[in-house]
Chains A and B, each alone.
Chain A
């Protein structure tokens, strides 16, 4: 297991710094929740990690080695927000999962691995022959998780993976994430604007605002005794919740 580190990472779009000097660590086997309002730069940071956004400054390392921005090496895998559009509509579920697997192995081995991965995310292996249109949103997000696991990543970046789902389905997917993390010892950067969701899955929490990291630490401390005013505002905005003010 390796630590994913962002050291003073900056991502610019034109003259705007979407991510501005962010330093953050995802320890091995830990789930770090990254929270913040829309446009705070959390998804851009995630995309920079998997090479989908260009880094203007700083570096991203995995186990002390820079994460390759190009090439076939796939140590980080990302699961995207919208399960309805993130899977190729023409490709069967099995082909989509198999495509992410490292090259090599016989056809039978690859098929068996696809079935194992589908079972791992609680999908019937018979789903392998179906196109995404035949699956529900929750099922598709399970496929997206299986697809990410197929690449045998060292870290998974989950970008708002429950926000496009119904509340009842969100719970099932979150339980699956927790289960997978516990059983496989996955390291995960879990991005969400929903603090309740982050509290449920993350052991550490980092808070972003306007491209900058304003606070980070163990989830129990950050979510109960926030040290930054913005974190308090976020917690106060959660319906039906009262925030315990941190002592000065």
Chain B
């Protein structure tokens, strides 16, 4: 037999620059550029926020009866009497050195307030995301398998109807309903705080259920499509066991396609903590930002908006990297 071998297609041509021949480096530079631009927009918007509020924010925070000297001293302390460009540069310098200003109400450094409250919010968001994925993947896969090729019409109708109803309930409303049923009527679970493990159940579930059913619907649709794909037919022709066909071939392909939406849901989930934390008196950034808005503690509001924005940007970056790693058609896998 002839020994002529056919090699796979070569990656990027040798004539390109060093960067062009390194898809990962190219990807990192492109993604970092987008991240920096988004970050700059976010920082600028959070800076502008304090100037877009009608009236004088310091007067608003100290109240109408506060002496004019005190208001002026506070304005000077916050640097609000400087030219706007100087204020912006001070703001950027402060961010670079970790100085987020001082709370108008507690007089504590805002960075300390954020550091104290951030872990509780992160734990809530991460747990809710894990629960959402743990519920959505098996639910989407099983309903996808049961409703493939037009089978299980009743199952499909029941699933799609129930899931759309559940998905349209706002998470804070779901939280109130869960508090009423499991906290007040049945008395099974605590309704506030995060001191004990059972206290996590209601906030995590009220935040996770909506994204879980949306993700399950997407995974079901992807599974139905993937199960019709030619490579699954090849797997059946190989006489592979059902679990290998579903878990080894169908699921990874279905999940890759669902990852983009999963990332968007995670971003929405981070923002959803604001309302859920207030329903359950959760000691995180969400409850702090609402309290700060009510007390007109603008430096704190400004910093928390920034933290939430950075959280969403990091989530999007993580999803982009995950997609690049998992999608076999990704160009950056060529090397």
Contacts and interface: CB of A to CB of B under 8 A. Distances in A.
Is chain A's interface secondary structure helix, strand, loop, or mixed overall?
Answer: loop
A124 B230 contact: no
Contacts of A139: 6, 8
B98 to A, nearest CB: 42
Contact of A131 (B5, B6, B7, B333): B333
A124 B6 contact: yes
Interface residues of B, number: 31
Contact of A124 (B7, B233, B253, B329): B7
Contact of A90 (B6, B9, B252): B252
A144 B249 CA distance: 16
Interface in A88-119: 88-91, 99-100, 119
B230 A122 contact: no
Interface string B302-335: 0000000000000000000000001011000110
A193 interface: no
A82 B230 CA distance: 8
A123 B229 CA distance: 25
B240 A99 contact: yes
B5 A122 contact: yes
Contacts of A77: 237-238
Contacts of A9: none
B329 A89 contact: yes
B1 A85 contact: no
Contacts of A134: 8-9, 334
Nearest to A87: B231
B234 interface: yes
B2 A122 contact: yes
Contact of A130 (B3, B8, B240): B8
Contact of B8 (A82, A135, A179): A135
Interface residues of A, number: 44
Nearest to B232: A88
Interface string B65-91: 000000000000000000000000000
Interface in A118-151: 119-120, 122-127, 130-136, 138-139, 142, 144, 147, 151
Interface in A34-75: 50-52, 70-74
Contacts of A78: 237
- Which of A82, A86, A135, A139 has its CB near the most chain B CB atoms (within 10 A)? A86
A183 interface: yes
B235 interface: yes
Contact of A142 (B6, B231, B239, B334): B6
Q: Which of A73, A85, A90, A130 has the most CB of B within 10 A?
A: A90
A179 B7 contact: no
B6 A52 contact: no
Interface in B175-215: none
Interface string B222-257: 000000011101111111110010000100110010
Contacts of A120: 1
B4 interface: yes
Contact of A80 (B233, B241, B329): B233
A123 B241 CA distance: 28
B316 to A, nearest CB: 23
Most chain B CB atoms below 10 A, which of A88, A120, A134: A88
Nearest to A130: B8
Interface string A164-199: 000000000000000100010000000000000000
Contact of B6 (A87, A88, A123, A183): A123
A136 to B, nearest CB: 7
Contacts of B7: 124, 126-127
**Lowest 4 CB-CB distances: which A-B pairs, in order?**
A85-B230, A124-B5, A131-B328, A88-B231
Interface of A: 50-52, 70-74, 77-78, 80, 82, 85-91, 99-100, 119-120, 122-127, 130-136, 138-139, 142, 144, 147, 151, 179, 183
